[in-house]
A and B are shown apart, each in its own frame.
Chain A
Amino acid sequence: MQCEIITAGFGGQGILFTGDLIAQAGLREGKHVTFLPTYGVAMRGGTANCLVKVSDEEIGSPLFNRPNAGIIMNEPSLVKFQSGVAQGGVIIANSTLIDHSIYERGDDVRIFWVPATQTARDVAGTERSANMVALGAFLAVEPIVEVATIEDILRDVSGEHKRALIEKNIAALEAGRDLVAAQAA
């Protein structure tokens, strides 16, 4: 098994954090992982994306041109990355911020429209958990790591003072999972 995932969106949407979480969960589950962030020309605003590989085998290059999964949080990122997704791949698209009309791929890719930002507002009370909604949705479609492992990491890496935030993130993660379960059903 080798999964190549791109996460992409605005700076501030937790794009790198999402990729990092997947990689950390892979490591905990004994898999080979790489995480490669891509910044704009300088580390200011703009779009952010990162490349994550999770594999049962040794990973050569951390780079890839044809991801089999994209977690896409804003419109410019879908415009930029949709054509690169491999045939048979999966896209999780944040439908709160992305208009369906810009999507150009055919049936060779499975796309899941997830209102990540809106759901985060509803279940976590903050847009900042939108990445967790999208991640939950992604893992429901492609269970490359366990949601429980992600939850363990969230609990481990944050201090006690962030307890409330962790629980919001976990609620968002589970809401994302349930949204896709409903779509897939």
Chain B
Amino acid sequence: MAERTGNKQLVKGNVALAEGAVQAGCKCYFGYPITPQNAVPEYLSWRLPEVGGTFLQAESEVASINMVLGAALTGARVMTSSSSPGISLMQEGISFLAGDQLPAVIVNMQRCGPGLGGIQPTQGDYFQATRGGGHGDYRTLVLAPANVQELFDFTYLAFDLADKYRNPILVLGDAILGQMKEPAILEPDHPREEPDKSGWTLTGAKDGRPLRNIRSMFLGEGVQEQLNYTLREKYDRMERDEVRYDQRWCDDADCAIIAFGTAARIAISAIHEARDEGIRVGLFRPQTLYPFPFDAIRSLSERVKRLLVLELNTGQMVEDVRAAVGDRAAVGFHGRPAGGLPSVTEVLAKIEEL
């Protein structure tokens, strides 16, 4: 990641992402309070009106995501945020957004599950996030920030990607990333790209143009099938063009840790300690979880023969890593679910086991 220049301020992750949305031209936010992401709606409740936007606390997450859908129909940049149980409630709406081919940004600051779980950090929603999440054959592009700066940058970027693909984009954080503060520059490093949407938005049928209908149900013979192929073609383009990852200390590495988000932060601490002891450990950090960096991990496995996947769960991303690596390298796993955070000591022990 290139070093950013600008005015650094100590800022909470949830606030950074909310400001990233504002800088991206987000015009509407609909959401329902849930810990640990309440700073997002609290911030946007005053910040959005300040820039002429709309903030509305919805009656539920179910309502939130459908309000998001309504606003997206007009072409307005729109978002919601929640945490795991709330994101589960939104899945039907996310499926509709995908089927309707509507752009929207959804932030999930993960908390423990299953069930009510607790407010501790986790990465238990990896499968839900990367496999569509709701019903039907669709995907959401998933960005995985690992620091407060990336929470700002990726949320900002998410709006461009949503418009580019007319697809819901997920920003997947966790309770630590949302609530921690660290220095970040709350200014974008590139201008935003908002395409002309006048060709598809619902504006009322102006100047005698034919009516438009935005839907996901198509009854004609083969039409629904065709929609799914259209979506697939879009996901193929995402898989070709949008894979993002950060690879560090891998050139001389004897082994590498593959981790995203907060797990990657723990990995970095462990790598520093390992290298102090003369153990050459590298880091591979996916920044998009869908599309997943299969090719980059495959080529990493050609060079580095021992890989450790570190997650805040009992093993989800590791399945994708194993699919990428095959038998080219040994893939170990270490994870702690539901707030039982892996310590640097544990990670070092696992590295030595490899």
Contact = CB atoms under 8 A, between A and B. Distances in A.
A67 B112 CA distance: 25
A60 B10 contact: no
A51 to B, nearest CB: 9
Most-contacted residue by chain A among B8, B262, B269 (CB, 10 A):
B269
Given A60-B272, A61-B265, A41 B176 contact: no
B214 interface: no
B269 A36 contact: no
Interface stretch (A27-35, A90-98, A164-172): A27-35
Nearest to A37: B179
A61 B268 contact: yes
A87 to B, nearest CB: 15
B24 to A, nearest CB: 25
A75 interface: no
Most-contacted residue by chain A among B119, B183, B271 (CB, 10 A):
B183
Nearest to B347: A61
A23 B8 CA distance: 13
Interface in A128-160: none
B1 to A, nearest CB: 11
B180 A34 contact: yes
Interface residues of A, number: 22
Interface in B1-47: 8-10, 35
B343 A57 contact: no
B340 to A, nearest CB: 12
Contact of A60 (B9, B269, B343): B269
A24 B268 CA distance: 23
A60 B265 contact: yes
A36 B118 CA distance: 17
B85 to A, nearest CB: 15
A62 B268 contact: no
Given A27-B10, A41-B119, A60 B267 contact: yes
B61 to A, nearest CB: 19
A20 B179 CA distance: 12
Contacts of A27: 8-10, 183
A60 B270 contact: yes
Interface string B60-72: 0000000000000
Interface in B269-314: 269-272
Interface residues of B, number: 24
Contacts of B183: 27, 32-33
B272 A35 contact: no
Interface in B223-268: 262, 265-268
Contacts of B8: 27
Contacts of B118: 41
A60 B180 contact: no
Given A34-B182, A42-B35, A61 B10 contact: no
Nearest to B179: A37
B89 interface: no
B330 interface: no
A20 B272 contact: no
Interface string A33-71: 111110101110000000000000111111101000000
Contact of B181 (A34, A57, A61): A34
Interface string A94-136: 0000000000000000000000000000000000000000000
Nearest to A43: B35
B76 interface: no
A33 B35 CA distance: 24
Contact of B343 (A33, A62, A65): A65
B344 interface: yes
29 contacts: A20-B181, A23-B10, A24-B10, A27-B183, A32-B183, A33-B10, A33-B182, A34-B181, A34-B182, A35-B180, A35-B181, A36-B181, A37-B180, A57-B272, A59-B182, A60-B267, A60-B268, A60-B269, A60-B270, A60-B271, A60-B272, A61-B265, A61-B266, A61-B268, A62-B176, A62-B265, A63-B266, A63-B341, A65-B343
Interface of B: 8-10, 35, 118-119, 176, 179-183, 262, 265-272, 341, 343-344
Interface of A: 20, 23-24, 27, 32-37, 39, 41-43, 57-63, 65
Given A23-B10, A35-B181, A57-B272, 18 more contacts: A20-B10, A20-B181, A23-B181, A27-B183, A35-B10, A35-B182, A36-B176, A37-B179, A41-B118, A43-B35, A59-B269, A60-B272, A61-B265, A61-B266, A61-B344, A62-B180, A62-B182, A65-B343
